[in-house]
Amino acid sequence: MRRGRAPAFLLGGGAALLLSLLWMPTLLPVASRLLLLPRALLSMASGSPPAQPSSASGSAYVPGSVSAAFVTCPNEKVAKEIARAVVEKRLAACVNLVPQITSIYEWKGKIEEDSEVLMMIKTQSSLVPALTDFVRSVHPYEVAEVIALPVEQGNSPYLQWVRQVTESVPDSSAAPLG
């Protein structure tokens, strides 16, 4: 027996693929930043800021400037009302409704299980506070779930469209839904 070596594991194709898919989201942000390291070091040596990659339309997407927000609703009627309102108010460019999700959670000391509708909301990151305030003002839950994740990468024309649609927010006051 050799000392100082980790045991070797032989994984079948399916297990290796599963492990690589599980680790990929963790490693991609690190790998993408490592790829930029030589350019950053070169720019530091020259004293000039690194050049930003440009898109075909001339305006590059700024990572994190668009967010995907997630809201759960008790039913499709409530989800559609909130979705339509946030798009009309330009707090979101697009809302996808995912019906029939099952949520299991602790609430007031009890484990609960409910069927809900998940809203996937695409918006500018700068609008997340206003979006959150509006959802809280019209949502029927005592504590509405509103969580947002910044979008680091994606289809640049789509991300630019999200920004364009939500660029001018007309009236973001929190008027109740009818």
Residue extents of the structural domains in the chain: 71-166
Query: Which of 51-55, 67-71, 138-142 shows the lowest per-residue confidence on average (mean pLDDT)?
Result: 51-55
- More confidently predicted of 35 and 130: 130
Q: Any idea which of 81-95, 121-135, 149-163, 164-178 has the lowest mean pLDDT?
A: 164-178
What pLDDT score does 32 carry? 47
Average pLDDT over residues 10-37: 45
Domain 71-166 has CATH 3.30.70.120: yes
Q: What is the pLDDT of residue 27?
A: 45
Could you tell me which of 51, 59, 53, 28 has the C-alpha nearest to residue 157? 59
pLDDT at residue 38 above 90? no
CA distances to 80, 84, 93, 123 from 87, rounded to whole Å, are 11, 5, 6, 9
Identify the DSSP state of 166.
Answer: T
Q: Cα 59 to the chain's mean position, in Å?
A: 21
**Where is pLDDT greater, at 131 or 176?**
131
Q: Which tokens sit at 28?
A: 């991609």
Given a cut of 60, whether residue 174 has pLDDT beyond it is no
The per-residue pLDDT for 93 is 98
Confidence band for 47, pLDDT divided at 50, 70 and 90:
low
3-state helix, strand, coil in the chain (%, to 5): 40, 25, 35
